[in-house]
Chains A and B, each alone.
Chain A
Amino acid sequence: MNIVTDPKTLHEFEKHSIKVEKISRRGILKGLGVAGGLVLAAPLMSRQAFAAYQTGASKMPHGVVVDPRVFVAIAPDGVVTIIAHRAEMGTGVRTSLPLIVAEEMEADWSRVKVKQAHGDEKTFGNQDTDGSRSTRHYLIPMRQIGAAARTMLEETAAKRWSVPASEVKAQNHEVVHAASGRRVGFGELADDAAKLPVPDINGLKLKDPKDFRYLGKGQVSIVDLHDITTGKAHYGIDTRLPGMKYAVIARPPVTGGKLKSFDPADAMKVAGVEKVIEVKGWPWPSKFQPLGGVAVIARNTGAAIKGRAALKVVWDDGANASYDSVAYRKQLEEAARKPGLVVRKEGDAEAALKSADKVVTGEYYIPHLAHVSMEPPVAVANVTGDKVEVWAPVQSPGGTREDLAKTLGIPEDNVTVNVTLLGGGFGRKSKCDFVLEAALLSKAIGAPVKVQWTREDDLHHDFLHTVSVEHIEAGLDKSGKVVAWRHRSAAPSIASTFAPNVKHQAPFELGMGLIDMPFEIANLQCENPEAEAHTRIGWFRSVSNIPKAFAVQSMVGELAAATKRDQKEMLLELIGSPRIVKLDSVKDPWNYGEPYDSYPIDTARLRRVVEVVADQGKWGRSVPKGHGLGIAAHRSFVSYVATIVEASVDDMGKLTVHQVDTAIDCGTYVNPERIQSQIEGAAIMGLSLAKYGEVTFKNGKVEQNNFDTFPVIRMDESPLVTHVHIVPPGPDTPPSGVGEPGVPPFAPALINAIFAATGKRIRSLPIGKQLET
């Protein structure tokens, strides 16, 4: 049940992969390349918005396509093929979305094949796999696609038996007429069903959730499981084409720098090296265009890497040559201590802070972070004439196609983007610079080229998570109630990767924990002082929620300590009454692209995850001496998450995480087993960034090179146990994000636990050696 290939031969890959040129026997399944008869032909493609609740899906580039002919094929032998149009980077989406279709159409999952879509948003709708959006945007459309297919199969059987369609029912891969006991398999109905028009999407009857066999059950393993455990799974790095050359590139070490000169002589002496050529670079900022540099092209990757080491290159470092993390931190701190652009204002925080009985101030620093997905960026491209075909691990197949067309100056129709599995993404592989490099090189040498980034390349040229200083002042009255809150957030914006002279955070960054802060405080002000970028900034799993949740939820711990109250009670008091938060004073209250009516900030749900985790995770339990409990809660990607961490610090300063409990309310869900795995993983990523995560610059260059200088958590220091508590959804609660929202509350829960254990308050990440003194 997979597309994944025998990596040895192109033939195998071609046989299994989706090719836009191929047309099925009947000519109606353009783009699927499925051998055998296909069903579900209809003249029109439906693009729709569903009535039950609205999502932002239709506002994404190219919107939503709800068309069974695009997503479903049934062969005469009954094998159902379902298209996965989103990229698989470990969240399980390549299984979950097709599973929704299979559920609604009553297909037997063991007779379903999943095929990966190529990059083609006109056909498949938006394919950006980011923002924790896939399930929340596609639960209903995928159900409708499945229901349309089911309806067509039922109508075909009813016609064949001359009985009313209301008397037949699709059940487990066949259509049954209960009254007469007749039954017929999906495969036998395929040809005739194909002749029916697709029914009106909005008139379809969806299954009653109580009849679900797969959805919400968590008993289906990911489709790639067997191939992953046998080494057959096909990642970006695994594509091999006949005559393919292997390239690594020496890139300008400073963002915005360029090539001055190079001497290829020594590189060319290395056995296996065949060519050394210049790669075109674009001036910074240029979105995802390549940085340029010098490519060493060889018969294998090892030779290319060795050749690059022998290369002599002189760079012009350009305007960011003085970027220095120590000095930049001071700049951010100064900015965060002065008034900035007001982005939310309720009451008069200024006056309330002045008249407060006590003011608690916290200033928090969170450095640049690198994604370091286990598979570094890698892509294969084959340019032939005015056409290009690429095989790449991309989160944005549609965007990659557009950028390839622009970069090569060819029409989009001449660009084929085959999407492989991603060996991790975390936002890095939303940017297709590495694919563009491969295409430029293939064009230059007239052969297929694989561009391989080394781990050093990955760290030196990432689109890094921003660096920020978050400055919070909270004013308390005599009774210890928080009456004033001012939060200033200074951080360079992702928008700086797209345009010059960006000085403020974009609405989508402010909306990740600053302006959407859910606390019930009468006098509230959020400010965004200026900050300019000096390197490429990009999305990193959960994005600006990391620094903002760290600051806000650390401050909750500080306020609990200052008023000698329980952390959880302090947190619930600040969240306040169950209500829908009003953001009237916010000019652009960005809400993860979702309509506020369907996805409001609902403090009842936030309170509930706190209460669930406190109950299930036994908040307040007695812990051994030297241990402490910490709690944090945060809404992001329109989901609600609360985490409790039990941590200890020994006499040598060694940190141990004994137990993690996380409660998530992500609304209606598809595959709880994968939610659990995402939340388990979020604890590891949260611990990695809290304990070690830091990319620093000196003289404009990244100082970290590999996992020795940019460590991530390993098994021997991972939490001893992580429990995941999924809050059951209320009726008709829209689905919300899962991939990212587990990350933000982890670090502050840990820091609050360390405080409880040691009395030491960490305000600057990473923890590093701060516990050793």
Chain B
Amino acid sequence: MIKVKINGQEQSWDGDPDLPLLWFLRDEAGLTGTKFGCGEALCGACTVIVDKQAVRACITSISDVAGRDVTTIEGLHPTGDHPVQKAWRQVNVPQCGYCQAGQIMQAVALLTDNPKPTHDQIREAMAGNICRCGCYQRIETAVHLASTGV
């Protein structure tokens, strides 16, 4: 039996220990905010935070996070008003919006690690997250805005 804390709630799993965290979150725990984009840690759509670090849930097995704290987009802020979420809305970042949960989680991890990133640091830290609609200019603006206080 694997136990993991997701958004502060303890969850358990007694199936395949190799099951990717992504599919545990989405299909077993019903937390569908975390998205599937590639399955190979190439696009960042499935980014969640494990003990303050951004992690790609598609290549992280459920057993890898046993006993650890996982935060998904649903658990970021009770009313959705984390500074990064607010900045995203202020800048009207999304187009289709599908990749944005992953982008937001990556940005949160970046700002935890580096509260005042430079232009180049933002572009580098966010480069693992693909947005096919092409919202990069606004993502960069929103991360900058969140870092300076919305």
Measuring CB to CB, which residues of chain A are less than 8 angstroms from any residue of chain B? 7-9, 88-92, 221-222, 224-226, 228-233, 235, 237-238, 240, 246, 270-272, 299-303, 305-306, 372-376, 421-426, 452, 454-456, 673, 677-678, 680-685, 706-708, 712-719, 721-722
Q: Which of B30, B73, B74 contacts A240 (CB 8 A)?
A: B30
**Contact partner of A90 among B15, B72, B97, CB < 8 A?**
B97
* Given A374-B98, A423-B98, 15 more pairs with CB closer than 8 A: A224-B94, A229-B85, A270-B16, A299-B27, A300-B23, A301-B26, A302-B19, A373-B96, A425-B96, A680-B137, A706-B42, A707-B130, A708-B40, A714-B130, A716-B123
Task: Name A's interface SS.
Answer: loop
B118 beta carbon closer than 8 Å to chain A = no
Please list the 6 inter-chain residue pairs (A to B) with the smallest Cβ-Cβ separation, ordered nearest first: A231-B33, A684-B134, A423-B98, A90-B96, A302-B23, A231-B73
Residues in chain B near residue A718, CB distance under 8 A: 123, 134, 136-137
Complexed CA–CA distance, A235 and B100 (Å): 12
A300 touches B28 (CB 8 A): yes
* With contact pairs A300-B19, A707-B130 given, residues A375 and B136 touching in the complex (Cβ less than 8 Å): no
How many residues does chain B have at the interface if contact means C-beta atoms less than 8 Å apart?
Answer: 61
Question: Which B residues from 72 to 86 make CB contacts under 8 A with A?
Answer: 72-74, 76, 80, 85
The contact of A301 among B35, B36, B122, B129, by CB within 8 Å, is B36
**Could you say which of A272, A299, A423 has the most chain B C-beta atoms within 10 Å of its C-beta?**
A423
The residue of chain A having its C-beta at the shortest distance from the C-beta of B140 within the complex is A715
Q: B126 is contacted by which of A231, A240, A305, A715 (Cβ under 8 Å)?
A: A715
Asked whether, in the complex, the Cβ of A230 is within 8 Å of the Cβ of B136, the reply is no
Residues of B within 8 A of A683 (CB): 134
Distance of B83 from chain A, by nearest CB (Å): 12
A376 to B40, CA, bound (A): 14
Beta-carbon contact of A231 and B74 below 8 Å: yes
Chain B binding surface, main DSSP class: loop
Say yes or no for B55: interface residue by CB 8 A criterion.
Answer: no
27 pairs, CB–CB < 8 Å, chain A vs chain B:
A89-B96, A225-B94, A229-B88, A230-B80, A231-B72, A231-B74, A232-B33, A237-B26, A271-B16, A300-B27, A373-B98, A374-B132, A376-B36, A376-B37, A421-B97, A455-B38, A456-B39, A680-B134, A681-B135, A684-B136, A685-B132, A706-B42, A708-B42, A712-B132, A713-B136, A716-B127, A718-B136
Q: How far is the CA of A221 from the CA of B94 in the complex (A)?
A: 10
Residues 4-46 of B at the A interface (beta carbon under 8 Å): 15-16, 18-20, 22-24, 26-28, 30-40, 42-43, 45
Known contacts: A683-B134, A715-B126. The answer to whether A305 contacts B39 by CB under 8 A is yes
Chain B residues within an 8 Å CB radius of A422: 96
* B positions within 8 Å CB-CB of A: 15-16, 18-20, 22-24, 26-28, 30-40, 42-43, 45, 72-74, 76, 80, 85, 88-89, 92, 94-101, 104, 122-124, 126-140
Q: Closest CB-CB distance, A375 to chain B, in whole Å? A: 5
Query: Which partner residue on chain A sits nearest B134 by CB separation?
Result: A684
A237 & B89 in contact (Cβ 8 Å cutoff): no
Q: List the A residue with the shortest CB-CB distance to B92.
A: A221
Shortest distance in angstroms between B5's beta carbon and chain A's nearest beta carbon?
18
Report chain B residues within 8 Å CB of A240. 27, 30, 32
Is A714 a contact of B127 with CB atoms below 8 Å? yes
User: What B residues does A722 contact at CB under 8 A?
Assistant: 137
Q: When A681-B133, A684-B134 are in contact, do A229 and B100 touch as well, CB less than 8 Å?
A: yes
Contact, CB under 8 Å: B138 / A374:
no
A417 to B150, CA, bound (A): 40
Q: Is there contact, CB below 8 Å, between A301 and B27?
A: yes
Residue in B28, B42, B94 whose CB lies within 8 Å of A707: B42
Q: A707 and B38 in contact (CB under 8 A), knowing A228-B97, A231-B74, A424-B96?
A: yes
Instruction: Please name all residues of chain A whose beta carbon is closer than 8 Å to the beta carbon of B92 when the two chains form the complex.
Output: 221-222, 225, 673, 677
Minimum distance in angstroms from B94 CB to a CB of chain A: 5
Interface centre among B73, B131, B137 (most CB of A within 10 A): B137
* Separation of A222 and B80 alpha carbons in the complex (Å): 16
Among B20, B33, B140, contact of A230 (Cβ-Cβ < 8 Å): B33
* Chain B residues whose C-beta falls within 8 Å of the C-beta of A231 in the assembled complex: 31-34, 72-74, 101
Distance in angstroms between the alpha carbons of A372 and B98 in the assembled complex: 12
Q: Within the complex, what minimum Cβ distance (angstroms) separates A72 from chain B? A: 26
> Who on chain B is nearest to A236 by CB?
B98
Determine if B40 and A7 form an interchain contact, defined as CB atoms under 8 angstroms apart: no
Please pick, from B20, B34, B131, the residue contacting A374 in the complex, using a CB distance under 8 A.
Answer: B131
Chain B residue numbers with a CB within 8 Å of A9 are 30
Bound Cα distance A706, B36 (Å) = 13
Instruction: Choose among B37, B132, B134, B135 the residue with the greatest number of A CB atoms under 10 Å from its CB.
Output: B134
Chain A residue nearest to B72 (CB atoms) is: A231
Report how far A683 CA is from B101 CA in the complex, Å: 23
B120 nearest CB across to chain A (Å): 8
> By the criterion CB–CB under 8 Å, are A230 and B23 in contact?
no
Contact A706 B85, CB 8 Å, known A300-B19, A421-B97: no
Identity of the chain B residue whose Cβ is nearest the Cβ of A220 in the assembled complex: B92
Cross-chain contact B89 with A374 (CB below 8 angstroms) = no
Query: What is the CA–CA distance of A48 and B33 in the complex, to the nearest angstrom?
Result: 42
Whether A374 pairs with B136 at a CB distance below 8 angstroms is no
CB distance from B55 to the nearest CB of A (A): 16
Chain B contacts for A708, CB-based, 8 A: 40, 42
Most A CB within 10 A of own CB, among B38, B74, B88: B38
